[in-house]
Amino acid sequence: MATIVGAYGAITDATKETQDLCHQVKTQVEKKTGANYVEFKAVKYRSQVVAGTNFLIKVHVGGANYIHLIVFRALPCNGGKVSLTNVKSHQTKDSPLQPIDQSQNQIQQKHI
């Protein structure tokens, strides 16, 4: 299936690549959410090709708790830097993996 530039692709199972991206931004996520995550496992993701790639990732953080992350990876010609764009906390296994509205504060302080 071809990727449509600017649109998020289909939801697929997480890969080693998406888990690696999660590990790279875990400290930033913990700082934004105010939580310390013992478990931090990518389970599903979808991507969006822009001037780099946005990864929308569902992460299991223990028990019935999940969070959604948007992680941006710049193009290799621009250094390939990975950065956290947004976090949506208080998600479940069944929460739809949809783009996070950038205009709203999606983070609620909660220690897990």
Ranges of each domain in the chain: 8-67
Q: What does the pLDDT profile of the chain (112 residues) look like in tens digits?
A: 455 557 899 999 999 999 999 999 999 999 999 999 999 999 999 999 998 999 999 999 999 999 999 999 999 999 999 999 999 999 999 999 998 876 554 444 343 3
Residue with tokens 């950038």: 102
Show the tokens assigned to 46. Answer: 């979808």
CB neighbour list of residue 70: distance below 8 Å, 6 or more residues apart? 54, 55, 56, 57, 84, 85, 86, 87, 99, 100
Task: Give CA–CA dist 102/34, Å, rounded.
Answer: 19
Give the pTM. Answer: 0.86
**Residue 90: left if φ>0, alpha if ψ -120 to 50, beta else—which one?**
left
